[in-house]
């Protein structure tokens, strides 16, 4: 869960950095400059922005995929561990039950067997 949160935070950080870069770029350029810029430069800037966005999206998707893969592996490992613990607990319970049955049988046998009489005292 922590890793998924870390990936989400990383993606949010990337988008915030990109947003600040765009805002800084817009603030640096005078308001009249975009209107005066030739169409070719504007088109080139749009292409560059689209390429950067596409690359950013691709990277975010790859990070998400990696996070999902890790989460699935962790879940599988946790399930495996839980199954092993359950199996061990079952084995322990079975051994305890067997031991209790042995003890009960021994007690029952001790109760049903007559006490061995003492050897008769010898006469002198």
Q: What is the pLDDT of residues 9-54, one digit of tens each?
A: 999 999 898 888 888 777 776 654 555 556 777 788 888 999 999 9
Identify whether 48 is part of a domain: yes
CA angle at residue 120 from 116 to 121, to 5 degrees?
135
Identify whether 40 is part of a domain: yes
Full residue range of the structural domain in which residue 82 is found: 2-103
pLDDT at 13: 92
Confidence of residue 98 (pLDDT cuts 50, 70, 90): very high
Distances (CA, A) of 49 to 19, 43, 55, 67: 12, 10, 10, 27
Q: Which residue has the tokens 């092993």?
A: 84
Average pLDDT over residues 73-96: 94
DSSP SS3 for 2: helix
Identify whether 119 is part of a domain: no
Residues shown for the chain: 124
Compute the distance between CA of residue 97 and CA of residue 8 in angstroms, rounded to an integer: 50
Identify whether 35 is part of a domain: yes
pLDDT for 68-82, tens place per residue? 999 999 999 999 999
Domain count, the chain: 1
Q: Is residue 67 a contact partner of residue 7, using CB atoms and an 8 Å limit? A: yes
Average pLDDT over residues 88-109: 91
Q: Is residue 3 a contact partner of residue 71, using CB atoms and an 8 Å limit? A: yes
């Amino acid at each position: 869960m922590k890793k998924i949160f870390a990936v989400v935070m990383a993606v949010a950080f990337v988008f915030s950095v990109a947003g600040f870069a765009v805002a800084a770029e817009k603030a640096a350029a005078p308001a009249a400059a975009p209107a005066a810029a030739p169409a070719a430069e504007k088109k080139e800037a749009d292409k560059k922005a689209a390429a950067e966005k596409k690359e950013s999206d691709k990277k975010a998707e790859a990070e998400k995929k990696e996070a999902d893969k890790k989460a699935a592996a962790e879940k599988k490992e946790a399930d495996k561990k839980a199954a092993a613990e359950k199996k061990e607990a079952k084995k322990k319970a079975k051994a305890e039950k067997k031991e209790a049955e042995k003890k009960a049988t021994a007690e029952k046998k001790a109760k049903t067997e007559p006490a061995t009489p003492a050897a008769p005292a010898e006469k002198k």
